[in-house]
Structure 1
């Protein structure tokens, strides 16, 4: 029941009780209905675009559950000097939304390999596997080929579209790897991680599959170590030594397959790549790229927004259309470490990348979807006052202030933060510490958690999908996560 209907019912009831109901009605204007509300007017005027898209950009915030979006919205607003709650992240202005059910076929709370596979193939599968169906047991190399699934990446490539992958994590990590690899174990990123059974069975590690498939036109992220040999650091690479034990330099192998392509390792080299270059492989860190908060100074790594802008330039150069996936991979890692500061900072950086993509493309021919693979056990609680620093201690309504310092307290008499975790490394060993504002606002602070764990875990609730552009109107309701695959193929009119 909406507010107008509820007010009408209450007034009607009152009128009946006083015997005056027969001649009195309540107009929407009397109830405060604003016919000029710009948001409502925008919704009324909206006309869905039913033509197929030329391009699709899929943004995946790894671990970006709804509580993370809410907290990041407030954080971003407060960075601009506002209370924060009224702020909007870039994708929150998109016209279409849905809720996505994230469970794996064998787990209520999912992992990123199974969720990425569902989004790319349209088939829900087990946790920990990439590009294969749920009938394949995790770690079983023998039936990988038989269980391999087609992805929308395959269909887009066959249709002549350019393909792009961006991740602030390693390019061999779960979310990007599911686009090109078929593996019964997500951790087989390089040959040294293969099990003995996988080696004897002829299964290939994920980095090798990236080079062998050779299907991604622009790939930008971290993960150099999976491509380099475990000998002295390669010349001209700012790197620790690689991890490969097979003596193969996969960067050289990629270059041989793509003689006109460019391999880059830093921002300056990426900026210098001409738009008409063929394929581009950018590996900006030995492992995962830096958190967004660490990307400062002249030698900093490129931001996810800068990677997105460059990828769109490269992929759109020939005008034939493209599919691009952009992963904010380190949101997840910050949450696992129980550190809300970096989780929110990386989410804000991710929102900037979405804004860049939106500005560089047209709603007439480009569909943009923003979603997450799963959530985290991340909470926003405690009745803080409006505009309270989202990373700070809870300051409550003065009416409830028993100590006179404005701080809310638990039953142990100690202050607490608005943000916390149901489990993780921030759990107290014994009695809780007495927190101070300076302590909790330190970027390295780990929010308090309920259950002590070495690493905080994923959560199982639904995540959101936000969409705009051609055929994005299908993004609505509550859907299985595998629906993302269907929506992408429908947008691109891929049979």
Structure 2
């Protein structure tokens, strides 16, 4: 058998392992080459490159995108992707560096510039506004122009300063719409899909100062807003923002509202009044048991605040992959197609805590969700885009041997003080440890194997901060080639709208 066919068989084998059922095997997230021994043969690299070349020679798909699935890994920097490849590969006995995440096999890749109008490093609010509405704005604000300063409710109320985006465009094109996240559904990234707010933190009325109460909080906009009220599937955390602080829910947790409004009941009532067939769930099994023929609107709020990390998710809480699959099943009932937005948000929280191990595990879960989606849809008529909102300061360095534990320490020979250092580290963050007697902290006193270990940081900050480098954009399906090159982040929704014939701008249909 030729080396080309060995490579082909290895890729195919890894793509078909464990494909039955809804639970996605981690091995499905990776595509690896044959055994490392072949790497000593020049023909191995030649045939590998030829295989990649052949995979890119398919004709461009210029059909209308009936469906769009837009994935965002919050804080998923390019360094995070590279480290996650090694992390996943090493879990399955490979050296790791040769591994490819599910969406890294997509034929078209670009780079998006993430800065915001008033700051050179983005937060999730201004970046979310850019890639979901097509307009750049100020840090900390959602769905409002840069004419609105942070926390300026008066300016927010000026209709000239607000706009909608791709979620609204899809609804007006007759498509079903959905929102999936493992964060609060009112958090900055998902909120950018439907809300207009001068402050990303105004998630419930209890979060607003008195002079801002005339501006609807984000949870209220999700239920009553022009765009939010029409979203068909909403799955994630943040249940507390939807009911009173004086009440307890079915899991005996208090709400986070002061106005006494029960937005969950109101959501059901509004959907029924609009002729829909709604249901509300808060447990994993209830979600998985939903028959998509019975309900066209589903609200799933599974935790009071953010959902748990993937590695320690309780059995009664769904994973990001499971929520993604169920959303696709429900939205697929619409004959005009659908737009689904999926956020893997806990990558960002892990980086902020300098917990690199958890960040890589959460990135792997996002790759699982992407692969699960790919197996469920017709890629001839479904555009899938995967990107990040901003970067983080984690670095990957050390010149260690091939296959060295990505979560471990680098070779000692490179440190002039003869102390060990981790392959992954941060420019700033809570992982900083003060030195003594002019010596760097000695890692021999640390439990690096702890899942929650805070990786070393150069500068002490309460939370590790975002970084300003470009983020990768991966695309597959109709008009995926529009996402090649380097561009402003706010270009992304305009390219999606063009491919799917929706929105007020240029499209393939007009």
TM-score (norm: length of structure 1) = 0.88
Choose the corresponding residue for 2:281, options 238, 248, 264: 264
- SS for the counterpart of 2:385 is strand
Match of 2:179 in 1: 165
Match of 1:255 in 2: 268
Q: For 1:325 and 1:472, how far apart are their aligned partners in 2?
A: 17
Choose the corresponding residue for 2:212, options 198, 203, 206: 198
Match of 1:221 in 2: 236
1:302 is displaced (CA, Å) by: 0.7
Q: Would you say the 8 A contact 2:296–2:331 is kept in 1? A: no
Choose the corresponding residue for 2:52, options 35, 39, 55: 39
Q: Would you say the 8 A contact 2:164–2:194 is kept in 1? A: no
Tell me whether 1:345 sits opposite 2:361 in the alignment: yes
Choose the corresponding residue for 1:484, options 461, 474, 492: 492
1:483 is displaced (CA, Å) by: 0.9
Choose the corresponding residue for 1:66, options 67, 78, 81: 78
Q: For 2:427 and 2:52, how far apart are their aligned partners in 1?
A: 36
Q: For 2:89 and 2:427, how far apart are their aligned partners in 1?
A: 26
1:51 is displaced (CA, Å) by: 1.3
- The CA RMSD over aligned residues, in Å, is 1.7
> Quick check: which has more Rg, 1 or 2?
1
1:450 is displaced (CA, Å) by: 0.1
Q: For 2:99 and 2:460, how far apart are their aligned partners in 1?
A: 33
Q: Would you say the 8 A contact 1:164–1:325 is kept in 2? A: yes
Q: 1:36 to 1:257 in 2, by over 3 A?
A: closer
C-alpha distance after superposition, 1:95-114 (max 9, x if no partner): 00000000000110100000
Q: For 2:73 and 2:121, how far apart are their aligned partners in 1?
A: 17
Q: How many residues align?
A: 448
Match of 1:371 in 2: 387
Q: For 1:448 and 1:462, how far apart are their aligned partners in 2?
A: 23
Q: 1:37 to 1:438 in 2, by over 3 A?
A: farther
User: What does 1:298-337 align with in structure 2 at a 5 Å threshold?
Assistant: 299-337=315-353
Match of 1:439 in 2: 447
Q: Would you say the 8 A contact 1:392–1:437 is kept in 2? A: no
Q: For 1:452 and 1:412, how far apart are their aligned partners in 2?
A: 21
1:33 is displaced (CA, Å) by: 5.9
1:385 is displaced (CA, Å) by: 0.8
Q: For 2:453 and 2:46, how far apart are their aligned partners in 1?
A: 45
Tell me whether 1:232 sits opposite 2:247 in the alignment: yes
Tell me whether 1:359 sits opposite 2:367 in the alignment: no
TM-score (norm: length of structure 2) = 0.85
Q: 1:33 to 1:318 in 2, by over 3 A?
A: closer
Choose the corresponding residue for 1:281, options 299, 317, 322: 299
Q: Would you say the 8 A contact 1:100–1:462 is kept in 2? A: yes
C-alpha distance after superposition, 1:370-405 (max 9, x if no partner): 0000000000011111000100111x3xxxxxxxxx
- SS for the counterpart of 1:50 is coil
- SS for the counterpart of 2:153 is coil
Match of 1:57 in 2: 69
Q: 1:456 to 1:97 in 2, by over 3 A?
A: same
User: What does 1:104-119 align with in structure 2 at a 5 Å threshold?
Assistant: 104-119=116-131
1:35 is displaced (CA, Å) by: 10
Q: For 1:242 and 1:255, how far apart are their aligned partners in 2?
A: 18
Q: 1:98 to 1:443 in 2, by over 3 A?
A: same
- SS for the counterpart of 1:362 is coil
C-alpha distance after superposition, 1:29-73 (max 9, x if no partner): 99x965982111222x22111111000000000000100011011
Q: 1:455 to 1:35 in 2, by over 3 A?
A: closer
Match of 2:142 in 1: 130
Q: For 1:98 and 1:34, how far apart are their aligned partners in 2?
A: 25
Choose the corresponding residue for 2:431, options 423, 426, 429: 426
1:143 is displaced (CA, Å) by: 2.2
Name segments (4+ residues, structure 1) moved above 6 Å. Answer: none
Match of 2:25 in 1: none
Q: Would you say the 8 A contact 1:180–1:215 is kept in 2? A: no
Q: Would you say the 8 A contact 1:55–1:366 is kept in 2? A: yes
Q: For 1:419 and 1:155, how far apart are their aligned partners in 2?
A: 41
Match of 2:38 in 1: none
Tell me whether 1:454 sits opposite 2:469 in the alignment: no
Match of 2:100 in 1: 88
1:319 is displaced (CA, Å) by: 2.9
C-alpha distance after superposition, 1:385-428 (max 9, x if no partner): 1000100111x3xxxxxxxxxx4463332111100000000101
Once the two structures are overlaid, the 10-residue window that deviates more, 90-99 or 411-420, is 411-420
- SS for the counterpart of 2:364 is helix
Mind listing any 5+ residue stretches in structure 2 that lack a counterpart? 1-41, 505-510
